[in-house]
Amino acid sequence: MIQVLISGLFLGSVYALLAVGLSLAFGIMGVLNLAHGSLAVLAAILYKKTLVLYPFSPWTFCLLATPIFLGFGFLLHLIIVAPFRNLSLSAGLVASLIASLGLALILEDLLVCWQGWEPISTNIIFPTYNLMGLKIPGLRAILLGMAAVTIGLSTFFLKKTDPGRSMRALAQDKEAASLYGINPGFTSMGALGLATILAGLAGIFYSSLYPLGPREGIDLTLKALFIVVAGGMGNLRGPAVAGLVLGFIESFAGVLFTYTSTDTVVYSLLVVYLVLKRSGSRQ
């Protein structure tokens, strides 16, 4: 049972990392970025290609790749946020959705062209440790630690630094934030940059554990969207917790009920929870 719990923790950490970036983008800018998963795939391919040339460890590569993904985030802002900043909430959501879907489709073809059709699997070998009869796979443990550090650092950035506070202010009230001298364009660009870094790291972690097809970006986005729905939008803690819970549920699936009914149970619980949560908040 404890072994299953540990596996759930490992799986949940990857889900959590995948979801927090999307939550950040939706919460601060009201953008449903359907290219989030494709950016994760891009990062995975970048890592795989780099590994062929230089045998970087995951953490070294993550450090080196961070500025690159920040740059991608800025570029993304120019395409899916900046052109729609004057639209109403609803129109902006649709426009950013269409634009990000378009971008995801373009990225898919470019990634196939660059990487080929076969799934990306980074094949990093780490030993498995035996701890009081429990098996702790080295790679999963390292990725769990890195995910925790990344989410911790991002939370610290949002809560304790001025740019982070600006992002939160923007999420709460755009007009009021502008009155306080916060530049919405610049701040949202930073927020999308941070979200893209998180997507990139999630892609690297995910492909270290599971094969990831070059056209699986949109599937990844959907998975992340679900976690965001359960955890709440615009904060990091909620999706992180929801990601972990999802990891536990999936790991315990084979123990508590049949594997094949896992998805039905998970998604049904999520929608019931969502409806109850939103109905409650309305009253």
Partner 1 sequence: MKTYKHRALLLSFITILALGTIILFAKTTSAESQKKIRIGATVSMSGKFSTEIGPFKQLMEAYATTINTRGGIYVKSAGKRLPVKFIVYDDKSDGPTARKFYERLISVDKADILLGPYSSPVTFAASVAAEENKVPFIAICANSDKIYNRGFKWIVCVIDAAPRYTHRYWDMIKAEGWAKTVAFVVEDTLHPQGVYRGAKNLVDSAGLKEVSLNVLPANTHDFTAAIMKIQKTSPDIVFVSANVPFSIAFMRQARELSLTPKEFHVIHHGGVFKNGLGAGSEGVVGQSYWTQGMNYGNPELFTEVMKLSGISLDDFPWAPAYMMAFETATQAIERAGSLDREKLMATLKQLKVMTVGGVVSFAENGVGTINTYPSQIIGGQYHIIWPPEVATARHEYPGSKN
Partner 2 sequence: MKPWQMSLSIIILTALMMSSAVFSKGYVGIFVFSLIINGTMAVSYDIPGRSLGLISLGHAVFFGLGAYCFGIAYSNGFSFFPALILSVMLSVVGALMVTFLMAGLNHGYYSLATLGILIIFQRLFETLESLTGGSAGLYIPETLSKLHCNLLAAFLLLATAACHALFFRSRWGLYSKETEASEEAAEAIGIPTRTVKILCLMTAAIPACMAGMLHLARTSHVSPVSGFSLTLSITALLASRVVPVKGLLGPLLGALLITAAEEVIWTKFEGFNHAWFGLILLVAALYQGIDFRRKKTISAAVENPLSR
Residues that bind partner 1 (CB under 8 A): 3-4, 7-8, 11, 108, 112, 116-119, 121, 123, 125, 128, 135, 137, 140, 209-211, 213-215, 247, 250-255, 258-260, 262-263
DSSP state letters, 161-173:
SHHHHHHHHHHH-
**Binding test (CB under 8 A) with partner 2, winner from 95, 148, 209, 241:** 95
DSSP state letters, 167-222:
HHHHHH-HHHHHHTT--HHHHHHHHHHHHHHHHHHHHHHHHHHS-B-TT-HHHHHH
Q: CB within 8 A of 280, min separation 6: which ones?
A: none
Phi first, then psi, for residue 69 (nearest 5°) are -75, -30
Binding mask 219-258 for partner 2 (x = CB under 8 A): ---x--xx-xx---x-------------------------
Would you mind telling me the total number of residues written for the chain in this entry?
283
Told to check if 206 binds partner 2 by CB under 8 A, we report no
Nearest approach, Cβ of residue 41 and partner 1 (Å): 12
Q: CB within 8 A of 86, min separation 6: which ones?
A: none
Both tokens of 226, joined, read 């679900």
Closest CB to partner 1 among residues 192, 212:
212
Told to check if 175 binds partner 2 by CB under 8 A, we report no
Binding site for partner 2 (CB under 8 A): 26, 30, 32, 79, 83-84, 86-87, 89-91, 93-99, 101-110, 113, 218, 222, 225-226, 228-229, 233, 260-261, 263-264, 267-268, 270-271, 274-275, 278-279, 282
